[in-house]
Structure 1
């Protein structure tokens, strides 16, 4: 008798229904593959929304975690531990920044970026107290705290969670003229995803990010890049901003930084920005803990080799070539960079949810977003043959 149906029912019995997962119950995983409680294997083409860029149970990361578990896991930031300096120094070097502020989740990194930008605005730019504004883009996804959903344009994420936090202006993504109009003397930052993941892997128009960088320079405004999903190798570069020749003032990082083992996030910026924080003004008990720092330092070292960025570029070309061949055969559009793709399915055929359920039946795991759009983001350890397999299964689903 199959164990999955009962396990799915049990999983939903005592939990709030804030997710609508596919009916698969995973019990083990390795590399780009997961296995369910009935022993069936699936090719993971979601990779934990990029948290598993290095695959499931990467041997170097697992060994590092095991070794650290035997020594020290938590001190709080009331003390210094022996993994902290290496992590902060090596991540700062990877980012080309002077300072790093470690946190846990992506949403915490975004909240930290918002607080730092406001404090910078008051102390450095000279914005009158309580009047700082931050400009964001529609279609954004930066997390689900009350402040962050205050500037979301996704009704599911925002509705019924008010009153909303003021201080944000929303403009169309990719529209430089609208951005320029929204920035004024009270603007302290522009907060953007270099590629919008939740919106369906939306790549900005050519020249947009350089234009944002120039505008921020001209108006004395911080450019904050949310690279939580797009960064750390996913798009074929260490940071998606690199592919547009842009260096933001602030990087927001997370997901892959924890190696798929522990939640790790960070804000990276120069001392002129992060230096506005003083002891007691911001913090986190678990932020920068020894286990997190040990794992994340190894993640930084994996990225420093350049291997995963190259794999994402080369295998991404293979993925996108295969997907583009399906346009007119069930797909109406394909977007993305590296090993990251947003696919618009002909809504007359099926919804994104239906497509993901049918892919699951064929041994491939993906995730839908916004109607008939699905996302593919396999781990960067995926092989060319596995890429071809995923595309073939999608083609079969579209063919009915």
Structure 2
């Protein structure tokens, strides 16, 4: 094991490639590029983002330390560590693990008026999934991210997006925020960042913000940014770009969604189909999604449910036409026969 205290070539390559792959974040803080903080599991990078927002509130907004508040959203999922479960809507993640961490205000996902009402003198940031996966494959109303961007700018808040599930081509764009032509101040990536091979996540932000909050030794991770993970990360980003997987997700996702909507029109079980790219949810009427998941498993399709009512369809970004056809055939078998 090479400690990440030692600067290695794979780490340098990965940090550089990741920082440049992402658009300039937080442009109101300057155009000197991005900086990347590597960690292991995604929740570690979520907590890094929380630290960033709290430090900004204390250092730049003069919020008394310990009074900082971050706006989050109902039915969120950002991981299962103690600070993050403290603002979860799900009792199964919270019960028995108190005392929980204060400093979060949760509002309805997609409701800009609720966000505006939650802002006060202690608010330092907004943490949001651009589309909710675990929360039910929820797509917010058009203009939601643009509205959050304006609220953050008007109130000097850091807008931080958790794209662990929906980034890196999943929704038909390299980044989910590109659907609304905004850029956040901070971005969290994971899962697909190493092709699912090695634990790897990152928090990315404007260079000036990263330098403001974190000095040598003020944050870090024993295995965060270790050489093997960085090699996998570089390879995954190269494949994403060279094989144009975001575009492939857009094209295959649209075909798949249209086919599923046709099935929904003939099925007595389906309530709604929603999603973008290869991030598609099938909501069923009787909250018995897992029954259909098990039937699909018997046919060779691995899917999961969300909240008991929605089947999550998230195939590999390089899914072929033949594989898409097989998936559609299995869905017809389960929902129409």
Question: For 1:327, what is the secondary structure of its paired residue?
Answer: helix
Question: For 2:150, what is the secondary structure of its paired residue?
Answer: helix
1:92 maps onto 2:19 in alignment: yes
> Corresponding residue for 1:264?
200
Shift of 1:146: 0.9
Contact kept in structure 1, 2:137 and 2:310, CA below 8 Å: no
Counterpart selection for 1:346 from 264, 285, 297:
285
Contact kept in structure 2, 1:135 and 1:191, CA below 8 Å: yes
Shift of 1:121: 1.4
Matches of 1:81 and 1:314, distance apart in 2: 38
Matches of 2:60 and 2:11, distance apart in 1: 28
Shift of 1:278: 1.0
Size of the aligned set, in residue pairs, is: 325
Contact kept in structure 2, 1:318 and 1:384, CA below 8 Å: no
Cα displacement string for residues 8-53 of structure 1 (whole angstroms, at most 9, x for unaligned residues): xxxxxxxxxxxxxxxxxxxxxxxxxxxxxxxxxxxxxxxxxxxxxx
Q: TM-score, normalised by structure 2?
A: 0.94
Long gaps (5+) in structure 2 = 25-33
Which gives a bigger RCO, structure 1 or 2 (Cα 8 Å, sep 6+)? Answer: 1
1:83 maps onto 2:7 in alignment: no
Matches of 2:7 and 2:306, distance apart in 1: 42
Residue pairs, 1:169-318, within 5 angstroms? 169-275=105-211, 276-305=213-242, 307-318=244-255
Shift of 1:173: 0.3
Contact kept in structure 2, 1:94 and 1:304, CA below 8 Å: no
Question: For 1:333, what is the secondary structure of its paired residue?
Answer: strand
Question: For 1:390, what is the secondary structure of its paired residue?
Answer: helix
Deviating beyond 6 angstroms after TM superposition, the runs of 4 or more aligned structure 1 residues are: none
Shift of 1:306: 6.3
> Corresponding residue for 2:31?
none
Counterpart selection for 1:381 from 306, 315, 318:
318
Cα displacement string for residues 164-220 of structure 1 (whole angstroms, at most 9, x for unaligned residues): 100000000000011011112211110000010001211110111100001100100
Shift of 1:385: 2.0
Cα displacement string for residues 277-296 of structure 1 (whole angstroms, at most 9, x for unaligned residues): 01121110000000011110
